[in-house]
Each structure stands twice: as structure tokens, then as C-alpha cells.
Amino acid sequence: MLKNKRIIVTGAGSGIGKEIVRLCLDEGATVIACDINKQSLEKLNSNLDNSNSLYTYQLDVSKYENVVEFFNYIDSRHSDVNGLVNNAGIYLAKNILDYLEHDIDKVLDINIKGFIYFSQMFGKRVISKEANGVIVNMSSVSGMEGSSDAIYGLSKAAILGLTKSCAMNFSPYIRVNAVAPTMVNTTMMNTIPDWRKEEYLDHQLIKSPVTPQGVADTVVFLLSDKAKHYTGATFDINNGGYLR
């Protein structure tokens, strides 16, 4: 599905990001995987069978100068890049009453500003060439239904607005969509309060758990030409837990 696609994936070293990288490679893409954790990238590179189509780059998505340097690398090594998955994010599992200023800044810098920086710099390059591209943004059910961590929920709601606005600003060259998963079986789920997990699970019409691969399946579809008529949309991945 992704032959001739050259895709950037942020937050690629673990969890959903790692599965997105694996499935993109399986579907024929070249992937530039970014993560702040160098060891995670090294493991990613060594654990994949088709790593000859994988390139890794360590950076902090919240640092503007790091992102500028990364896109200078893209210009020199992967100038035909045509896909972006904004996935990097953090979840501190805090009540809003317990947040300190530096914690608020950290969540918003990574979960919102990182998406803005990558979208802006990717968009400039694709549009200047009048080429075609696609962006997939990782939001969350928390951005649509609220979160026990209000700052995290705020950040994921912001991504829904960014998705719609970028779809308008980048048309007709770049399609921009979001995915909004429910709880996914990653290490992040261990920090969600039990009462909130029960609320999510009680609402779900499909009882098999949402996995990183299940999310990656939707991301790959949106990156592919099979999704050529979708832009500005949000794809719920929540087992029918919230019907809209």
C-alpha cells in the first residue's frame, strides 16, 4: 500500500510509533524514524527484518532548532519525503490541581508545539514543489471525551483543531487527518487510573482490546492512496465506545 512513499514518523522508538514504523516498512515505504531516546532507535533498527529501508534520527520534537536541523537533513538525504506521522507525545497522569508550571510547559511543548513544528516544515517543502503529501496526527479519545489528566486532554483536543486547519491551509497538495484511539495496550496505559480504564472498557461494543497494530493499520490506510478522498477528518479507534 505504501510503495514509493517516504514517511517521517515521530515518537518512533516505542509503543504505537514503533508499530507504525514496522507496518509502513512491511507495506513498502521508506521510513525516517525520529525519537528522543537513542537506545530505542537502536533497538528499532536491530529488531526489524527490513531495516534497509529504515533511517533513524534522534531529536527532541519540542526544540525548534532541533526540528530545523532535522529538516536540513531531510533536504540533503530524503528530499522526496511525502508522508508525516506526528506521533511523539507524553502523558504525565496528573490531576490538573497537581501540575506545576514546568510540567504544563513540557506537555504542551511536546504534544502541541512538536506537531506544529513538523507540520509547518513538512508543509513548506511539499507545497513549494507543488507535490502531493499526507500528514497523520495522533490525537486521542481524551481529546474528544475529556481526560483525568486535563493538560493531556487539552493537548489532544488541540491536535484535532490543528488537523482541520492544516487540511484547509495545505490543500490541495497535502491531505491531513487525525486518529483518536481509546486506551491502547502500551506502557502508557499503566499510568491511567483504574476507574478511568473501567469507564472506557464498559462503553466498548467490541470487547477485543485495541492494540498498537490496530492503530497502525488505520494510520497506514490514511497514508495510502486508498484514503485519497479523506482530509480534515478524525478517525475514532475506540471499539464503538463513543458513538458520534
Residues labelled catalytic: 152
- Residue at grid coordinates 530505542: 40
Q: Which long-range contacts (CB under 8 A, 24 or more apart) does 151-154 make?
A: 151/92, 151/94, 151/96, 151/99, 151/103, 151/104, 151/107, 151/108, 152/91, 152/92, 152/107, 152/111, 154/108
Cα 174–139–117 angle (5° rounding)? 55
Q: Which of 94, 199, 86, 88 is nearest to 151 (CA)?
A: 94
Residue 151 CB partners (closer than 8 Å, separation 6+): 92, 94, 96, 99, 103, 104, 107, 108
Could you tell me where the beta strands, DSSP code E, fall in the chain? 6-9, 30-35, 54-58, 83-86, 133-138, 174-181, 234-237
